[in-house]
């Protein structure tokens, strides 16, 4: 008697994901960067804000693996500390975008009357110029939020909300398309026939089957949010100078590219590696969650 192995959607997706070499490599690299930024400051116990002008702008050495900045502060310690903020902004902004996009897409795809107005609202947000609007809103509200929530908390909340609210449209369109397809399936029609409430149909039957594209969009969105935060910090409109995010470090390094190239190379390399890793993971998840691919 042949006993077939029990298979599930997520089990098949995991087996398919493991076959994607770049996705596995990206997962390992991203995990290492996350571990380094979270645990690294406790292992590499060099203060990130100690000033020593005698060793300013020194290159990488055994004493300072990434070199020092213009004030003699250890660049590796500042990169590890700043990585926490950059990655936290990326993850939090994507959670905001996923929440808003999933809500709008679900309502538009399930309720026909809401489809037109919600999609026109989505089109309106798509037409907004992202970076100029970000710069304008930050200039208008950053001082008041700093006074209300502090110099770090205010800017963090402002950037997360702005980046999230300007990047939910793609998620909404993906979820809407999935809902339009799934609500015509037999299991949804059967749920309607036995009197299941619309709320239960959305959350228990349709939404779990529409999460695949949302997860893929979320992984790719993390990289975009990190780049956006880095761009704002590079322009001097992000976190305060004593919070060394990767973008802020690049902003500070722009005047020393010729004399101390390491100052710009290492923060830029960390941004690039993080974004590339996230994109590789997104590619792997897209292939793993594609029902047309055999596991």
pLDDT for 9 beyond 70: no
Q: Residues with Cβ < 8 Å from 178, sequence gap 6 or more?
A: 105, 109, 206, 209, 210, 213
DSSP-derived secondary structure for 148-160: HH-HHHHHHHHHH
Q: Look up tokens 């974004």; give the residue.
A: 275
CA-to-CA separations, 28 to 33, 121, 122, 178, in angstroms, rounded: 9, 39, 36, 31
Would 123 be classed as within a structural domain? Answer: yes
Q: In which domain, by residue range, is 218 found?
A: 14-40+72-288
**Rounded CA gap, 34 and 32, in Å?**
5
- For the stretch 282-294, pLDDT in tens is 888 777 766 555 4
pLDDT for 35 beyond 80: yes
Measured at the CA of 38, the angle between CA 86 and CA 157, to 5 degrees, comes to: 35
Would 52 be classed as within a structural domain? Answer: no
CB 121 within 8 A of CB 104: yes
Return the minimum-mean-pLDDT range out of 62-76, 254-268, 275-289. 275-289
pTM above 0.75, yes or no: yes
At 248, which CATH number?
A: 1.10.3720.10
Would 6 be classed as within a structural domain? Answer: no
Would 294 be classed as within a structural domain? Answer: no
Would 89 be classed as within a structural domain? Answer: yes
Q: What is the pLDDT of residue 118?
A: 93
- When pLDDT is averaged across residues 103-132 and rounded to a whole number, the result is 89
Q: What is the pLDDT of residue 290?
A: 63
Would 20 be classed as within a structural domain? Answer: yes
Would 170 be classed as within a structural domain? Answer: yes
CB 168 within 8 A of CB 101: yes
**Rounded CA gap, 281 and 31, in Å?**
11
- For the stretch 43-56, pLDDT in tens is 888 888 888 888 88
Q: How many domains does the chain have?
A: 1
Would 65 be classed as within a structural domain? Answer: no
DSSP bridge pairs for 74:
68
CB 8 within 8 A of CB 54: no
């Amino acid at each position: 008697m042949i006993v077939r192995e029990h298979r599930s959607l997520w089990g098949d997706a995991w087996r398919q994901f493991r076959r994607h070499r770049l996705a596995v490599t990206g997962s390992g690299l991203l995990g290492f960067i996350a571990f380094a930024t979270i645990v690294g400051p406790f292992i590499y116990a060099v203060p990130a804000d100690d000033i020593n002008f005698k060793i300013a702008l020194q290159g990488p050495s055994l004493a300072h693996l990434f070199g020092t900045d213009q004030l003699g502060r250890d660049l590796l310690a500042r990169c590890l500390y700043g990585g926490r903020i950059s990655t936290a902004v990326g993850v939090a902004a994507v959670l905001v975008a996923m929440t808003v996009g999933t809500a709008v897409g679900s309502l538009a795809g399930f309720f026909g009357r809401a489809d037109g107005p919600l999609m026109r609202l989505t089109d309106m947000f798509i037409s907004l110029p992202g970076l100029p609007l970000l710069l304008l809103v930050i200039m208008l509200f950053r001082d008041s939020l700093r006074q209300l929530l502090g110099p770090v908390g205010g800017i963090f909340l402002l950037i997360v909300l702005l980046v999230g609210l300007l990047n939910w449209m793609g998620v909404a369109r993906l979820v809407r398309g999935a809902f339009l397809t799934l609500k015509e399936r037999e299991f949804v029609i059967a749920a309607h026939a036995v009197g299941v409430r619309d709320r239960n149909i959305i959350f228990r039957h349709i939404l779990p089957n529409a999460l695949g594209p949302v997860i893929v969009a979320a992984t790719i969105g993390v990289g975009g949010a990190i780049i956006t935060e880095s761009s704002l910090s590079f322009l001097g409109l992000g976190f305060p100078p004593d919070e060394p995010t990767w973008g802020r470090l690049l902003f500070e390094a722009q005047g020393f590219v010729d004399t101390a190239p390491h100052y710009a190379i290492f923060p830029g390399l960390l941004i690039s590696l993080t974004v590339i890793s996230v994109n590789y993971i997104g590619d792997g998840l897209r292939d793993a969650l594609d029902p047309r691919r055999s596991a």
